[in-house]
Structure 1
Amino acid sequence: MPAATDKVAVAGELHAPRAGVASLDNAIGHQNMQQLIQLRWFAVVGQVATILVVHYGFGIRLPLNHMLQVLTCLALFNMVSLLRLRIHRRVTNGELFVALLVDVATLTAQLYLSGGATNPFVFLYLLQVILGAVLLKAWSIWTIVVVTALCFAGLALFSRPLPLPLDHDRGLWSPYVQGMLVCFALNAALLVVFITRISRNLRVRDARLADMRQRASEEEHIVRMGLLASGAAHELGTPLATLAVILGDWRRLPHFSSDPELLQEVAEMEVQIQRCKSIVSGILLSAGETRGESSEETTVRTFLDDLVEEWRTTRPVEEFDYENLFGQDLPMVSDSAIKQMVCNVLDNALEASPHWLRLEATHDADALTITVTDAGPGFIPAILAEFGKPYQSSKGRPGGGLGLFLVVNVARTLGGRVAVRNRPEGGAVVTITLPLAAIVLEEDEDHDDAATALANHAVPPAASP
């Protein structure tokens, strides 16, 4: 393991959006409609230039007034589409289908006025078909194919041919061959540019869908673990209570009370039994049982101070630096999920660095930032690369890697994030950022409602990464 690395892993972005599949489709549809609008502006400019070059440059007379009227209508439709896109971001398959039909109708009108099927630019129909194949659903694609084929046939039947000489033998000097070359280059360039952009939009959607599926799988995993933990907590309650009674009886026996060393060991066992009972109570509390008995209103500074004091008295840490720089104190509910999350990070750091730890709490804008620093070996590159995934551990034991996995998911549920990195001088830094809106009580907020909102996400206090 190298002593230092510049790599930083972050999971659970602050206020991360939780859009569903429909929202993703809407976003991609919005982007695809933007591409069509841009393509339509290119078409307007390109048609104006082509019409002027053919009419004045080649001396081929075209009905300029009618063709410019068609272009004006196309430009107006594009402006309306752009305005609608800014007001309503949701774009359906039907809207994309109608937009392509308008493009086909406009192209057909221009071709009808400029030679029909004999116009070299008739092959621009292929551009509409290919765009439809990329953007639309199956029925819409085949409708575009049928419509363009009927338009081509109609042009061949009813339009007047262009007065172009049949001089194909002149090669590139032939106006018709030149028109076909320009049409081919235009088709190829537009397809490369816009199909590339549309494909990128689709890849982004697929990547986000994969991320959503992964997140759903992880959250389902947490639910199963929570059910198992809750069941185990119920089962452990009785034996822990029995052990507490037995230790209390032992303390009163003459054999133990007369031996200070044995009495100290009994006291230590009682402390550990009490700690186990607190852990079990925390699991049940976070599962929604006996919540009202333990939730209490406190402040952010007091909550952190009590958390650190309790953790320090029950762990064998040699040197622990704690600095609470939160500043203005704010009311909050003492929440077991946040407590277990921070304790999990501290336990992991203690296992890696039993000689020295540091915890710093700061108030950054509208967020609480908790930074835990250790002097251990740091995270190996594989852990950083897969940060936030379950069972990513270098310890090689069953259940390893669940600690940070659960920490990340609790932070993400509260709208926060967790970042880890290695220090250049050795050791690791874990930074937890939680939005104050998710943990702080408003002055007029009901205590029980706040407790319910905050304490629905437990972190079982087992399994370190």
Structure 2
Amino acid sequence: MAESNQSLWGGPERSSWIRLRTLILLRWVAIFGQITAITVAQHSYHVQLEVTLCYLAIGVSVIGNLTASFLFPQNKRLTEFQNFLMVLFDLFQLAILLYLTGGLNNPFALLLLGPVTISANVMSTRSTLIVGAVAIALATLLAEFHLPLRTEIGLVLQIPDILLFGNWAAIIIAIVFIGAYSHRVSSEARSMSEALAATHMALAREQKLTDLGGVVAAAAHELGTPLATIKLASSELIEELDDRPELKEDAALIREQADRCRDILRDMGRAGKDDLHLRQAPLSTVVHEAAEPHIDRGKTVHFAEGPVLDGDVQQPSILRKPEIIHGLRNLIQNAVDFSRANVWVEAEWTSDKITVCIMDDGRGYPSHLIGRIGDPLMRRRRAETDQRARPEYEGMGLGLFIAKTLLERSGADLEFANGSDPYQHLSDKPDRRGAIVKVEWPRKRIDAQQGDTPVPSGRNQHIQV
């Protein structure tokens, strides 16, 4: 993760997503609940409490809230360390109130879970572990050290030791379980959110490039006729101006510049794909286009295409969706990064299915991660040996997640396996012992002529500016 996203406290700045105002409002709710509980216990049940000390502890929380409200703007967002201090403050303030009101004999001791849960959801692992350890220590101390609750006649309200131990054990288990559960779930949600954001950015970039190429292609197509007319007219002028060399030179310059404009537009037009006739392409063309950035990277990329079982089904013309091109490109990049020398890209089709299989001769996927391939950010750091072997490779997880998400968005199903696995069914060729990924679409989902969304036919429409 980038350094700008790291806190000085040692974790990512997750707590900066929470406004100070939100925590202040939650603390006001807690203060109101504490005052209500003390008032009801004293007046309705005539429990004898150290009221002055209790209200003093609540007053400290009130002063802290008022100070924060006046000193900071409502939209201030806390840093990791500031949020950590606020959660610890609430934890100690609650512990003091519990000490004054019977310790673990007080049923409200369960509220010790509150700060731990907040920390687990919005703070780093290190901060959560510290808050959880402090909560466990305070619960243990409160089990032994506290002021007793007394009735109006002086009777001590105290539960049996076995129930007191049960309360302590339940609170400790709840702190560990709920803290770990909340932290794990929130981490998964954050990882998925970040990965989806990266996926949307990649797709948006691919779509912009496609749209830009379409504008260039349309411009090249529309300007072709006037440029040809200029060239023809200038050629005729050159022939008629033999007796006027100064004008003949200008006419030759016009023809030369017209040729230059034609060459520029032709080169730019190679990237254009938004013409009605270019919104679709044969399957092999799309596969080659996806692999093009990785062909000259020192590995040999072998292509093969054909109908399954040597059938006579014609090669399909498929939609040139950015999701398909970018998704296949990521898979091919992963194969090139991890292969030793060769990558195989095979495209097959039947009357109802289209399949692209990408294989390499590398070490394959780690066997213990096969079931998790496609999860975002599942690999945190490469070993030093891998860094030396593949210095161009930044990490595995997010790229495969983007590819899997984009291709599934286009209607594909993906299967991952290792060629060295004797039980895999994706390939039976002994030289392809590395990673294998099979991408399969129902033909109707991406067929550009007979599918669910066929490309319209007819004349191209003028671009509306």
- The TM-score with structure 1 as length reference comes to 0.38
- The TM-score with structure 2 as length reference comes to 0.38
Which gives a bigger RCO, structure 1 or 2 (Cα 8 Å, sep 6+)? 1
